[in-house]
Amino acid sequence: MYFEHFIDLHYDAWANISTVLEMVNLNGVRYGEQLLGSLLFFVPHTLWEAKPHATGIDIGQFLMVYYKLDFDNLSAPLIAEAYIDFSVFGVIAYAVGLAWGVRLLDRLYRADGPVARPAGIYFALFLIFALRGALMIAVAYGSGAVLAFMTIGWFVGGRRKHRVRRSPHVQLPRTPPARAAH
């Protein structure tokens, strides 16, 4: 019952990628407008009137106009985000960026620190949310999690600074040295 969602064909990612291809063919590439809006998600529309909506909303509004869809709360997979901003070059660049990000998560998981492993696990699972999109929403939620992990690390990490670490390359003697007689 709970796992049906993961094998169900009622998922809009493929259709939304196809819709973005149609949007770009009709209206052209946005040259980073969506990415900039995602990175500056915290700037309100009252201060930045031309700020783009999340890509999923744009897809929904396009489908409302051209295909009589009646809602605009849709996903925008990372491939769609890349293509709407930079076309095929964007898909390649975002794939490279995603590979770099996954490698960073791997290093985070293997790092020594009180928060590193939990953060690595959390963001590996969060990656599912980010890949589904829209990027603007994922960046907004993800930045809050980053700040939370950084804050926890700051509080917990303060105690670890005073601990003496030994280099893994230093060999300790197996027997204690002989004591000198007084």
Residue 136 pLDDT greater than 80, yes or no:
yes
Mean pLDDT of 113-123: 92
Kindly report, residue by residue over 1-53, the tens digit of the pLDDT.
556 655 554 567 888 999 999 999 999 999 999 999 999 999 999 999 999 99
Kindly report, residue by residue over 64-88, the tens digit of the pLDDT.
999 888 888 889 999 999 999 999 9
Domain ranges of the chain: 11-159
Q: How far is CA 43 from CA 53, 58, 71, 81, 140, in A?
A: 12, 18, 25, 20, 11
- Distance between CA atoms of residues 181 and 61, nearest Å: 89
Mean pLDDT of 131-151: 94
Provide the pLDDT for residue 113. Answer: 83
Q: How many CB atoms lie within 10 A of CB 101?
A: 14
Mean pLDDT of 55-71: 90
Q: What percent of the chain has pLDDT over 90?
A: 66
Residue 141 pLDDT greater than 70, yes or no:
yes
Provide the pLDDT for residue 43. Answer: 96
Cα 134–chain centre separation: 11
Q: What is the mean pLDDT of the chain?
A: 86
The secondary element (H helix, E strand) that includes residue 4 is helix 4-7
User: pTM (2 decimals)?
Assistant: 0.77
Residue 169 pLDDT greater than 70, yes or no:
no
